[in-house]
């Protein structure tokens, strides 16, 4: 692994005309020291982490501002470090059974109105996400928590056919607006499950989703993921995240991430699912 120092954040005004207070800088450092932080590529959930932040400290700059300096380890091609269970990467905190998270690309008035309509249909809260990246991919995320083996049930238990039809139409309109602006946008269904006392994040991703793709995610892929994970996760306690490509007719495994942030690119699959490139 390559080891280096990087500036994670500063108290300067950034490109979004926002700035972090010194207290937020110190909080970021505390978070790094408590849990491994993955290095993502432009906040794109389709790409495995390229490394991890293993330590951090606060530094005063020459101009009187403050910075969080991270000590990062970048993985090299083909490298598989021994599992390090000294710390675990932090899993997304889910306070409610279901919620909707959106990034800056959905902050226009019409998109906000559609998201509010979907939230009202589902009786859930919405949460903006701030992404500090040069060209972050546009992502709309449904975040849920579910009992292990009941990811599909967690969504469908409180959604009638009529409500689902309305949700699907609203999502179609919302993604139609994205399609007119960019080719690169993702729908992400994230579920947090507890397996053997540990939390695992499971992602179902669809790039440029049509209504047909949305239909498959909710009516086929969530249930298929349940079956696959019941065979896989109990025997792999080191796994903290599993990512599926849910954009095609069949659910495909993309990658998994160990609790120490090291990516895993192979997974024994059955139940009609496909390996990457199949």
For residues 245 and 254, the answer to whether their CB atoms sit within 8 Å is yes
Q: Tell whether the model's pLDDT for residue 278 goes beyond 60.
A: no
How far is the C-alpha of 125 from the C-alpha of 134, rounded, in Å? 28
Q: Tell whether the model's pLDDT for residue 97 goes beyond 90.
A: no
Q: Tell whether the model's pLDDT for residue 131 goes beyond 70.
A: no
CA proximity to 213, closest of 242, 192, 244: 244
Q: pLDDT at position 8, please?
A: 87
Q: In what order do the strands lie in the sheet with 37-39?
A: 2-10, 66-74, 51-60, 37-39
Pure H helices in the chain: 22-34, 109-122, 151-156, 161-181, 211-216, 222-232
Task: Show the tokens assigned to 176.
Answer: 């139609």
Q: pLDDT at position 132, please?
A: 53
Domain ranges of the chain: 2-74, 98-264
Q: pLDDT at position 184, please?
A: 83
Q: Tell whether the model's pLDDT for residue 33 goes beyond 80.
A: yes
Question: What is the chain's mean pLDDT, rounded?
Answer: 88
Q: Answer with the residue of higher pLDDT: 138 or 135.
A: 138
pLDDT band at 276 (very low <50, low <70, confident <90, very high): very low
How far is the C-alpha of 277 from the C-alpha of 102, rounded, in Å? 29
pLDDT band at 63 (very low <50, low <70, confident <90, very high): confident
pLDDT tens per residue across span 65-90 = 889 999 999 998 888 888 988 889 98
β-pairing, 198-207 with 239-245?
A: parallel
Section 149-153 average pLDDT: 94
pLDDT band at 271 (very low <50, low <70, confident <90, very high): very low
How far is the C-alpha of 64 from the C-alpha of 66, rounded, in Å? 7
Minimum mean pLDDT among 57-66, 90-99, 150-159, 236-245: which range?
Answer: 90-99
- Positions of E strands within 147-250: 185-195, 198-207, 239-245
Section 255-261 average pLDDT: 96
Task: Give the global pTM.
Answer: 0.88
CA 186 to chain centre: 11
């Amino acid at each position: 692994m390559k080891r280096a120092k990087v500036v994670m954040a500063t108290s300067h005004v950034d490109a979004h005309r926002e700035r972090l207070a010194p207290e937020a800088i110190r909080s970021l450092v505390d978070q790094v020291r408590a849990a491994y932080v993955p290095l993502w590529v432009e906040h794109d959930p389709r790409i495995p982490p390229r490394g991890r932040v293993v330590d951090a400290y606060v530094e005063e700059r020459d101009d009187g501002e403050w910075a969080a300096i991270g000590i990062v380890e970048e993985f090299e091609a083909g490298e598989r470090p021994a599992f390090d269970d000294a710390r675990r990467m932090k899993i997304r905190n889910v306070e409610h059974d279901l919620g909707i998270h959106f990034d800056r690309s959905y902050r226009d008035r019409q998109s906000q109105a559609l998201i509010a309509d979907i939230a009202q249909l589902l009786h859930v809260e919405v949460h903006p996400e701030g992404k500090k990246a040069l060209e972050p991919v546009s992502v709309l995320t449904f975040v849920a928590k579910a009992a292990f083996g009941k990811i599909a049930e967690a969504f469908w238990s409180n959604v009638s056919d009529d409500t689902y039809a309305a949700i699907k139409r609203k999502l179609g309109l919302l993604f139609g607006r994205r399609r007119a602006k960019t080719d690169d946008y993702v729908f992400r269904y994230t579920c947090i499950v507890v397996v053997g006392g540990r939390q695992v994040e499971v992602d179902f991703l669809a790039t440029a989703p049509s209504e047909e793709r949305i239909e498959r995610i909710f009516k086929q892929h969530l249930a298929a993921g349940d079956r696959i994970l019941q065979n896989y996760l109990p025997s792999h306690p080191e796994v903290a995240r599993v990512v599926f490509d849910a954009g095609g007719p069949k659910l495909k495994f993309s990658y998994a991430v160990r609790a120490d942030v090291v990516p895993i690119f192979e997974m024994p699959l059955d139940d009609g699912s496909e390996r990457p490139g199949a």
